[in-house]
Amino acid sequence: AARPSRRLCAMAQPKVLMTKEPAPQTVPASDLPEKVYEVALNTGPDSSSGLATAGFRTAKYLPDEWFQSNSNLYHKALAGCEQAERGRAEAKELADHAAATAQRTQQDSTATVGQRLKDIHFWKSELQKEIEDLEAETGLLAAQKLRLERALNATEMPYAIVTDNLQCRERRQPPDLVSDEVERELLKEAELIRNVQELLKRTLMQAVNQMRLNRDHKEACEMDWSDKVETYNIDDKCGRYSNQSTNIQFHPSSVKFEESASTPETWAKFSHDNIYKAELEKTASINLRALIDNILHDVSEDLRMQCAAVNEAFAKRCEQLDDAKHKLEYHLRRVLKEIGDKEASIAALKQAIKDKEAPMKVAQTRLYDRSFRPNVELCRDEAQFRLINEVEELTETIESLKKKLLESEESLRNLEDTRMDLEKEIAVKTNSLFIDRQKCMAHRNHYPALLKLAGYQ
């Protein structure tokens, strides 16, 4: 009764595939020795060896043969049961070994998938950190780019001012139309502004290119990160599979390696290279931001220093013009006073000449009347000589007065020319002062502040 139950237990065991040969039996199996039965010969009176029984021998067995046949069946059944029992034991041992092996292999696979998840999480975290750093760095570089654009726009006002100053000073009149210190400083300022604009444009283009490189490497890291997120989810789902999962099935074609599959070394190197390149671009971006900050600081300082130099040159030039104008006005006042005095002197000379007409008439009339003295009375007496001397003296005096009058009139004309020159020069100085002070310096009051030139406003 125990044997059927053992067969039922053996039938209830699950069928599993063996991964290796079962362990050998400790006691080797062997066949049972055959029993030898001695059959008695029919030699008695009832023996069928005679002719009378010769026809019945082929259809019947002897009792010993019947016992021998039963014994053989018993022996065969016993041997079969023992072999079946050994097979059941071997099958159970094989099933237990297969179950333990499958469980151990599955645990190893699960542990390997778990380790792989850790590796993926590590690189995913590194990529995410690099993406965040690149995004933050790109934002900071964009702020510096905005400063560059503001600084470049801010240079338009100084360039317009210096251009207007140069054009306004071209309207100066000779002899004030000179290449003075102000003009040299203005030309230097114009050249400086053009150089600054070129530098800012080149730096702005460099910042745009660096931002594009930052975005390209950020996109590469994001693609790698996205692939690792998807891979992490797949491996996480694979790690959660168990024998009790309901969504597992056979996939015989999956047991192979894809031709395009990467190796762990190339897989890690790919992410490492992406992070390394991103780090290089981030470092380049940081250096470029520092360079932009230094450029904007130096540019704003240079522009303000040159602006101060131009303003100082304008101030000195205006002081020179004021001084020259005051001196011209002083000399003009003196010339005007001298002209007035000279006109009075000329009037006095004319009056003096006119006053000599009466004495000349008297003397000449006396000489004329005395020329009518009769005969010997027409004498060259003392009176005659004195009258002649008087006429000569008056003539010389009148000639001297007329000569002096001519000199005074010439001097007056010279004074008038000087006055006109002084007035013209004063007008020129006034015009130059108006251009330098009212036009140029007033326009330069709109020069951008240092913060605006540095791109902060």
Domain locations along the chain: 128-241+262-318, 331-452
- 205-227: b (≥16 Cβ within 10 Å) or e: ebbeebbebbeebbebbbebbee
Rounded Cα distance between 438 and 432, Å, is 10
Using CA of residue 135, residue 139, residue 141, residue 142, what is the dihedral sign? positive
Quote the pLDDT of residue 451. Answer: 84
Residue 434 is classified by DSSP as I
Task: Tell me if 264 sits within 8 A of 153, measured CB to CB.
Answer: no
Quote the pLDDT of residue 59. Answer: 64
Q: Count other C-beta atoms under 10 Å from residue 325's C-beta.
A: 18
How big is the CA angle at 41 (ends 40 and 46), to the nearest 5 degrees? 110
Rounded Cα distance between 174 and 24, Å, is 127
Rounded Cα distance between 398 and 413, Å, is 22
Quote the pLDDT of residue 261. Answer: 81
Rounded Cα distance between 201 and 339, Å, is 64
Task: Tell me if 62 sits within 8 A of 39, measured CB to CB.
Answer: yes
Quote the pLDDT of residue 58. Answer: 56
Quote the pLDDT of residue 253. Answer: 79
Residue 304, both tokens: 């303000």
Residue pLDDT, tens place only, 345-369? 999 999 999 998 999 999 999 989 9
Any idea which architecture 128-241+262-318 has in CATH?
Up-down Bundle (1.20)
DSSP labels for 37-64? Answer: -PPPP--STT-TTSGGGTTTGGG---HH
Quote the pLDDT of residue 33. Answer: 52
How big is the CA angle at 74 (ends 70 and 75), to the nearest 5 degrees? 115
Q: Count other C-beta atoms under 10 Å from residue 327's C-beta.
A: 13
Phi then psi dihedrals of residue 207, to 5 deg: -65, -40
Q: Count other C-beta atoms under 10 Å from residue 298's C-beta.
A: 13
Q: 3-class SS at 404?
A: helix
- 36 half-sphere exposure, CB direction, 13 A CA radius: 0
Rounded Cα distance between 312 and 316, Å, is 6
Rounded Cα distance between 399 and 403, Å, is 6
Residue pLDDT, tens place only, 128-187? 999 999 999 999 999 999 999 999 999 999 999 999 999 999 999 988 899 999 999 999
Torsion region of 455: left, alpha or beta (phi above 0 gives left; psi -120 to 50 gives alpha): left
CB neighbours of 353 closer than 8 A, spacing ≥ 6? 398, 401, 402, 405
Residue 28, both tokens: 């080797």
Quote the pLDDT of residue 37. Answer: 46
Residue 151, both tokens: 């600084």
Residues composing the chain:
457
Helices and strands (DSSP H and E) totals, the chain: 9, 0
- Which residues does the chain have with pLDDT short of 70? 1-59
Q: How far is CA 259 from CA 254, 263, 265, in A?
A: 13, 11, 16
